[in-house]
Structure formats: C-alpha cells, structure tokens
C-alpha cells in the first residue's frame, strides 16, 4: 500500500472505474467501512448498471443457493481454486443477507437460482443506487476514464472530457469484453484492459464464454425447438475436458441449452484456439451405461417385435429425433423391432451413446456471454483484490480472469470481489 500524505490518510479518495455491479458493491462497502473516504464512481456510458438491467431476461439471477464456498467455487471454469478463500469471506449467504436487509426479498428456485421476489432487475438496481446515494458516493456518468498512471503514491486519471484528477486508490471494475481477433494474432489490450496494462498488468486474451454451438447437420434439420433432457455432451478432441450433462435444445442453427452452455464455458479457451471448429459426441441416453445399451435394445426388440422402429421411440426421445437417429444408424425406420440383428443393434447403440456432430462456430446465448480472460489472478492478492504489482490498484468483477457458468455465479463473483476490494480500499 502506498504511503499516503496526511490529507489523503484522513480522507483518501477512492476512484472506482466502472459503474457496474462490481464497482457499485465495492464503492458502497468502502464508504460504509470508512465514512471518511471520498468515493467516486466513473461510468463511461449514460447509465449505470446496464448489464444488471438486462440480466436474467430482465429478472436478474442475483446469486445461487450454494452456501458452501468450496461447492460454490466449482461453478467457475476460471477462478475455481482462487475463489474458495474469497467465498469464505463473502459468499452466497452473505449476498442473500445483504440484499434482504436492504429491502430486496429473494426467491430461490428449484434449480438453486436466486432472483428478486419482484422478478424485476430494477429492484436490484434501485437497491444499489439508493445504497450508494445513502452512503454519499458521487456517481459520474458519461465519464469514461481514458488513461491512468502512477504519480508518486497516487494515481492520475484522465477522464473523457480531458480533465485530469488524482486518487489515492483506484478500483478497475470495468467488466469484460471479448476480443474478436483470431487465435494466434497478437492481442493488444484495448479499452479498459489497456488501463490495466498501462498500470503494469498482463492481460489474458479475453474470449467469449457461455455460447451456443453452430452445427449444420442433416440430423438436426427441421428439429428446432426439441428439448432432450438429459443428454451428455463431450468435446471429443479436447483432452481433460469433462462431458457436461443436462437439457439440450435443438435450435435453428445448432445446439443450445444448459449442457451446451456449460461445455462452452469449461472449454471456452480450447474452443477459441481451434477457431470454434471441433467435434462433439452426444450421448442421448446418459442414464444407461454404454455396455448396457445393446442389452436394453435387445429387450425392447423382444417386447415390441411387430412394431416398426419409427412408431415406437424409446426413452422419451422425441419421435422425430428418434427416426433421425435410426436413419443415422443406416436403418430403415419402417423396419420392425423384431428384425433388428446384433450388428444393427450395435450400430444403433453407438449412435445413441456417442452421436458425432461437428461444431463449426459459436454464437451468443440470448446475447448473454461472459468474457473469460482479463487480468491474471496470480497478479492479484485474492484476500484484498489489490494488485501485486501496483500498490493502491484494485480489481473487481469480470475484468479479472474469472467467469462462472449460468445460474447467478457471475454476479456472485462481482459481489465477492467488490466486497473484498471495498474493505481493503477503505482500510489503512
């Protein structure tokens, strides 16, 4: 921590760059912890908390019902080891208590997602803006910070209007923005990442996480809207990447649904590196072991001898999808179950347990993606969120190389890192 002058020691000026959830949470925490500090939020756009507004389809999935820090951390493809400590200090239960105490009752859904009981993200925005107002925080919109530099023990910031000002502590809470450069091209940090780079930090190329797969395959043609629950999806070419299970949605352009989104998050960097062209294998009946499928088909055949394959689709698979899978196995859908020989059964079992498809691109899920990459966590003290390289500089939220799967985990990372940064900036 820099040695402050006597003035700044008495009333340090904390500049929060970025008026998103992480910036607001840090600012409020800092002022509440030390009412003597002066806190200003600089937001480049005309409105603060823009992503909170549109989050969760306008309902804001604020966190996840996951009180155990270790369990909570497992939902972060980047940050799962480093977040265990921070979640111990401020976890999902603390988030629930924080918002509930400020008049935002929450509702937990069976899948563990928490939303405001109002089902309206506006109540979360109102809560944060009114807590900031009550705490006496100055919020400056249309005030993007274009440059930041160390000047002695302080920082000099240049705001969009060309004016400069000084701050004792700076929080970068500028969110994430995926780069659209191709893999292999040198990444030059732009926008807010350039601020972190100018203050001495490396930037891991930010690329999208949480996206849907483009798959052009006759198997899926005309089947848009069909949901299969559950399936298991595996990226066969990526060593060490676990298959993901859950509902799968067939779309007009390929595949979506929780199983695909989870896989996209865990494989985000590997998929970027192969230009989003990679093979996957879909297990349409994950409840059955591969070794048991042949036997299961033999039993079905024995019980439905005279029925045609196309008239009886097993395992609750949509009839239309089932017929396509039968065709993929090279079988005539008009064939009778009783006429299935061992070789045909083996082929059908292989298609059902590992149907190979080729992904040829990615697209955003309802415009929802999170960037993975950003400031490397090894350059940050995860107890305080202070830079290990530039004392007095702090980070919170998506600007860090942290991202979670869907379910309220990304906001939880903002509340946690914002809280820790706020406390540390206010101290000393």
Name the H helices within 45-158. 50-58, 69-73, 84-89, 92-101, 121-135
Residues contacting 325, CB < 8 A, separation 6+: 219, 284, 317, 348, 351, 352, 355
Q: In what order do the strands lie in the sheet with 361-364?
A: 355-359, 278-283, 227-235, 244-250, 254-256, 211-214, 361-364
Considering only the stretches 18-26, 101-109, 181-189, 224-232, report the one whose residues sit in contact with ligand FAD under the rule CB under 6 A.
18-26
Residues contacting 390, CB < 8 A, separation 6+: 150, 199, 200, 201
Q: How far is the CB of 255 from ligand FAD (least distance, A)?
A: 20
Is position 373 an interface residue for ligand FAD (rule: CB under 6 A)? no
Q: How far is the CB of 227 from ligand FAD (least distance, A)?
A: 21
The strand pairing partners of 208, in sequence order, are: 371
Burial (CB count within 10 angstroms: exposed 0-12, middle 13-18, buried 19+), residue 145: buried
Return the residue of 8, 61, 344, 390 that touches ligand FAD, per CB under 6 A: 61
Considering only the stretches 21-29, 178-186, 259-267, 271-279, report the one whose residues sit in contact with ligand FAD under the rule CB under 6 A.
21-29
Is position 174 an interface residue for ligand FAD (rule: CB under 6 A)? yes
Which residues in the 382-401 window bind ligand FAD by CB under 6 A?
397-398
Closer of 47 and 277 to ligand FAD (Cβ): 47
Distance CA 184, CA 327 (A): 40
Segments of 1-37 assigned E as strands: 13-17
Is position 145 an interface residue for ligand FAD (rule: CB under 6 A)? yes
Closer of 155 and 278 to ligand FAD (Cβ): 155
Please choose, from the candidates 98, 114, 53, the residue with its C-alpha nearest in 3D space to the C-alpha of residue 106.
Answer: 114
Residue 363 CA to its chain's centroid (Å): 15
Asked whether the beta carbons of 259 and 245 are under 8 A apart, the reply is yes
Is position 232 an interface residue for ligand FAD (rule: CB under 6 A)? no
Considering only the stretches 39-47, 242-250, 256-264, 319-327, report the one whose residues sit in contact with ligand FAD under the rule CB under 6 A.
39-47
Please choose, from the candidates 74, 79, 54, the residue with its C-alpha nearest in 3D space to the C-alpha of residue 64.
Answer: 74
Q: Per-residue string for binding with ligand FAD, 351-370, x by CB under 6 A?
A: ----------------xx-x
Distance CA 139, CA 85 (A): 31
Is position 258 an interface residue for ligand FAD (rule: CB under 6 A)? no
Return the residue of 16, 26, 42, 351 that touches ligand FAD, per CB under 6 A: 42
DSSP character at residue 428: -
Q: How far is the CB of 349 from ligand FAD (least distance, A)?
A: 39
Which residues in the 89-128 window bind ligand FAD by CB under 6 A?
none
Is position 51 an interface residue for ligand FAD (rule: CB under 6 A)? yes
Residue 262 CA to its chain's centroid (Å): 9
Return the residue of 12, 56, 258, 422 that touches ligand FAD, per CB under 6 A: 56
Distance CA 146, CA 191 (A): 8
Return the residue of 8, 40, 43, 243 that touches ligand FAD, per CB under 6 A: 43
Which residues in the 185-224 window bind ligand FAD by CB under 6 A?
191-192
Q: How far is the CB of 60 from ligand FAD (least distance, A)?
A: 6
Closer of 21 and 243 to ligand FAD (Cβ): 21
Return the residue of 14, 15, 16, 22 that touches ligand FAD, per CB under 6 A: 22
Is position 26 an interface residue for ligand FAD (rule: CB under 6 A)? no
The pair phi, psi for residue 177, each rounded to 5°, is -145, 120
Return the residue of 16, 26, 28, 60 that touches ligand FAD, per CB under 6 A: 60
DSSP character at residue 11: S
Residues contacting 307, CB < 8 A, separation 6+: 336, 337
Considering only the stretches 38-46, 226-234, 298-306, 322-330, report the one whose residues sit in contact with ligand FAD under the rule CB under 6 A.
38-46
Binding site for ligand FAD (CB under 6 A): 17-23, 42-45, 50-51, 54-56, 60-61, 144-145, 173-175, 191-192, 367-368, 370, 397-398, 408-411, 414
């Amino acid at each position: 921590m820099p040695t402050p002058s006597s003035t700044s020691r008495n009333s340090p000026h904390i500049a929060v760059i970025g008026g998103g959830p992480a910036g607001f949470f840090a600012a409020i925490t800092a002022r509440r912890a030390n009412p003597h500090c002066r806190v200003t939020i600089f937001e480049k756009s005309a409105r603060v908390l823009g992503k909170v507004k549109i989050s969760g389809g306008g309902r804001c999935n604020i966190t996840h019902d996951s009180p155990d820090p270790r369990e909570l951390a497992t939902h972060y493809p980047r940050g799962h080891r480093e977040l265990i400590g921070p979640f111990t200090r401020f976890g999902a239960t603390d988030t629930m208590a924080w918002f509930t105490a400020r008049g935002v009752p929450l509702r937990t859904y069976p899948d563990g997602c928490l939303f405001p009981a109002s089902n309206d993200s506006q109540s979360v925005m109102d809560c944060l803006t009114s807590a900031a107002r009550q705490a006496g925080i100055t919020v400056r919109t249309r005030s993007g910070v274009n440059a930041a530099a160390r000047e002695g023990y302080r920082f000099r910031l240049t705001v969009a209007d060309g004016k400069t000002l000084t701050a004792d502590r700076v929080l970068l809470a500028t969110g994430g923005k995926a780069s659209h450069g191709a893999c292999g091209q040198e990444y030059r940090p732009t926008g807010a990442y350039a601020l972190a780079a100018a203050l001495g930090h490396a930037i891991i190329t930010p690329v999208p996480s949480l996206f849907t797969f483009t798959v052009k395959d006759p198997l899926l043609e005309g089947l848009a809207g069909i949901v299969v629950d559950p399936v298991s999806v595996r990226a066969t070419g990526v060593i060490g990447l676990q298959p993901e299970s859950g509902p799968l949605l067939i779309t007009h352009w390929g595949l979506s649904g929780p199983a695909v989104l989870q896989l996209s998050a865990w494989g985000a960097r590997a998929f970027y590196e192969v230009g989003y062209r990679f093979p996957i294998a879909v297990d349409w009946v994950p409840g059955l072991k591969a070794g048991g499928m042949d036997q299961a088909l033999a039993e079905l055949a024995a019980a439905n001898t005279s029925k045609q394959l196309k008239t009886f689709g097993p395992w609750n698979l949509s009839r239309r999808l089932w017929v396509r899978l039968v065709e993929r196995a090279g079988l005539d859908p008009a064939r009778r179950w009783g006429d299935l020989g061992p070789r045909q059964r083996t082929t059908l079992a292989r298609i059902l347990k590992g149907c190979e498809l080729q992904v040829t691109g990615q697209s955003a899920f309802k415009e929802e993606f999170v960037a993975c990459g950003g400031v490397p966590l090894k350059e940050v003290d995860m107890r305080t969120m202070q830079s290990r390289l530039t004392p007095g500089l702090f980070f919170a939220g998506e600007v860090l190389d942290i991202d979670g799967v869907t379910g309220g985990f990304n906001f939880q990372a903002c509340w946690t890192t914002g809280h820790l940064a706020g406390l540390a900036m206010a101290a000393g």
